[in-house]
Chains A and B, each alone.
Chain A
Amino acid sequence: MKLVVAIVRPEKLNEVLEALYRAEVTGLTISRVRGHGGETEQVETYRGTTVKVELHDKVRLEIGVSDHFVEPTVRAILSAGRTGEVGDGKIFVLPVEKVYRIRTGEEDRAAVTPITMEESPA
């Protein structure tokens, strides 16, 4: 099992979600985050106060997947989240030691396999 953590542009979130659903990746968590990755600064002015906004709004997706779902998940995010400009974000794939589904107590692969999906051999 892996945890796929992706940081994407907020305005690309809908496209990323659509691509993930098409790839049959349906279990995920998102949060709004702010970060900095080398994109050009954004200048804002409020009355006499001018600021450079160094941290940009991003969306962080966390997706727990079984091993054979890592590739389609990453490919979906790469294609749907890309604009080609600096600031498109990152994808991290992390090893996962243990997963539990709280409702049933199921573990590991059973816990990251959506209930709507037939168990398929890895």
Chain B
Amino acid sequence: MSTISPADTAWMLIATAMVLVMTPALGFFYGGLVRAKNTLNTMMMSFVALGFVGIAWALIGYSLAFSEGSGLLGSFRNTFLNGVRLESHGTIPHILFVAYQGTFAIITAALISGAIVERMRFGPYLTFVTLWSIVVYAPIAHWVWGGGWLGKLGALDFAGGTVVHINAAAAALVIALVLGTRKDYARQAIIPQNVPFTLLGAGLLWFGWFGFNGGSAFGANASAALAFANTMFAPSATLVVWSLLDLMRTRKTTAVGAATAIVVGLVAITPAAGFVSPLSAIAIGGIAAAPSYFALLWRARSRVDDSLDVVSAHGVGGMVGALLTGVLAEKSWNGVGDGALFGNMRQLGIQAIAIVATIAYSAVATFVVVKVIALGFNLRASVKEEGIGLDVTQHGEEAYSRGEGAILVHADGGI
């Protein structure tokens, strides 16, 4: 217990709360982008992860990801939080480390929901995120951070470019393809119901991301400060480049574009946050704008109904960030290793291996999870339910209820 640092613990307590708030923030980000009749359903897809994935993490996910095991998977040593007490893990209490990592599992699962909004039944969704966090998230977290083979290989992923973003994006693409397009997709205009929600979500995500990246230093130290500053400047650069691209293409700078740019910049700097110089972070943020921008344009014309563009934002942005980490990492800043630009060509190859391995495992394992659930459940809402909207059909509530014509039903069933 003597190695616990009060300063580090204080920062990680705050950082954990900040990452937790990113999931409701994601709910607002996504909730603003769907149609009014699906607002609550979309936001609930994020909110329920706080419960279902949080508990799955405490009971089994953490153990599979972080307890000592093989290169591929942890063990069952810490299931049900067995052996997790107040002893030190690094310089913070072990239980705080579990909580902090749990917030990552929660938001990663919630990210996937952007690909399947407005059409998936809620029961199967609950089953999906719960199983996915155990079967897909925990192993990949182990590979990179839990003492697994990618970490040993030397893959650099400061706060989750592969584990969180590329992983979620691969899963999102698979489940979107399995579910199929919304009935109205490419037939009617489907436009955002509340852009201010989306901006609010983007703002709160940025705030929380300081805990996501800064906290991934696991201490109140210089590495955290570097990650923190990079988390500020990289999305700034993305926002600038994105706005200019928007201006050149449409002569207008869009609000939904700005919100998206912030997320893309945050995603891109995530793997690099504590490894690159602030100027490199600005370069990463700026460079990351273009691939995601054009991926979004292409996707909207395609037959892939990744409705809220998880792949373009988190997949493409995550890959750009992970690769550029392998280029721009600087030992004089991070004390860990150099990237290709500073003489270590090998790092770029390792980053590529981490990307390919993550996509491959996530895609295959997600497919299996979805297909297993499909054996027992009908995944899709009916055409009629899609028409009425998932708020009323899945939750029995409306986001914007005016109460006209609502007649009180008493508990005994009478009127």
Which A residues are within 8 Å of any B CB, using their own CB?
Answer: 9, 11-12, 14, 34, 36, 42-46, 48-56, 83, 85
Interface residues of chain B: helix, strand, loop or mixed (majority) = loop
List A contacts of B402 (CB < 8 A).
34
Q: Are B384 and A53 in contact (CB under 8 A)?
A: no
Q: Are A50 and B404 in contact (CB under 8 A)?
A: no
List A contacts of B405 (CB < 8 A).
34, 36, 53-56
Nearest B-chain residue to A50, judged by Cβ = B409
CA distance A30 to B404 in the complex (A): 20
CA distance A54 to B402 in the complex (A): 12
How many A-B residue contacts, CB cutoff 8 Å?
Answer: 52
Q: Are B387 and A34 in contact (CB under 8 A)?
A: no
If A9-B387, A11-B387, A83-B384 touch, whether A42 touches B392 (CB-CB below 8 Å) is yes
Q: Are B406 and A44 in contact (CB under 8 A)?
A: yes
Complex A-B: 14 CB contacts under 8 Å: A11-B37, A11-B387, A14-B187, A34-B405, A36-B405, A44-B392, A45-B396, A50-B408, A50-B409, A52-B406, A52-B409, A53-B406, A56-B405, A83-B384
How many of B's residues come within 8 Å of A, CB to CB?
Answer: 23
B401 CB to nearest A CB, Å: 7
A12 CB to nearest B CB, Å: 8
In the assembled complex, B7 has its CB within 8 A of some CB on chain A: no
List B contacts of A43 (CB < 8 A).
396, 409
Q: Which one of B37, B387, B388, B397 contacts A44 once the chains associate, using CB atoms below 8 Å? A: B397
Q: What does the 1/0 interface line of B368-412 toward A look like (CB < 8 Å)?
A: 000000000000000010011100100011100110111111010
Nearest B-chain residue to A36, judged by Cβ = B405
Q: Are B404 and A55 in contact (CB under 8 A)?
A: yes
Q: Are B392 and A52 in contact (CB under 8 A)?
A: no
Q: Are A52 and B415 in contact (CB under 8 A)?
A: yes
Q: Are A45 and B397 in contact (CB under 8 A)?
A: yes
Nearest B-chain residue to A45, judged by Cβ = B396
Q: Are A51 and B407 in contact (CB under 8 A)?
A: yes
List A contacts of B2 (CB < 8 A).
none
Nearest A-chain residue to B402, judged by Cβ = A34
List A contacts of B389 (CB < 8 A).
11
Q: Are B408 and A14 in contact (CB under 8 A)?
A: no
List A contacts of B406 (CB < 8 A).
44, 51-55
List B contacts of A12 (CB < 8 A).
387
In the assembled complex, B188 has its CB within 8 A of some CB on chain A: yes
Q: Are B415 and A44 in contact (CB under 8 A)?
A: no
CA distance A12 to B383 in the complex (A): 12
Nearest B-chain residue to A14, judged by Cβ = B188
Q: Are B398 and A44 in contact (CB under 8 A)?
A: yes
A29 CB to nearest B CB, Å: 19
CA distance A54 to B405 in the complex (A): 5
Q: Are B407 and A52 in contact (CB under 8 A)?
A: yes
Question: B387, B405, B407 — which one has the most chain A CB atoms within 10 A of its CB?
Answer: B405
CA distance A14 to B183 in the complex (A): 13
CA distance A43 to B404 in the complex (A): 14
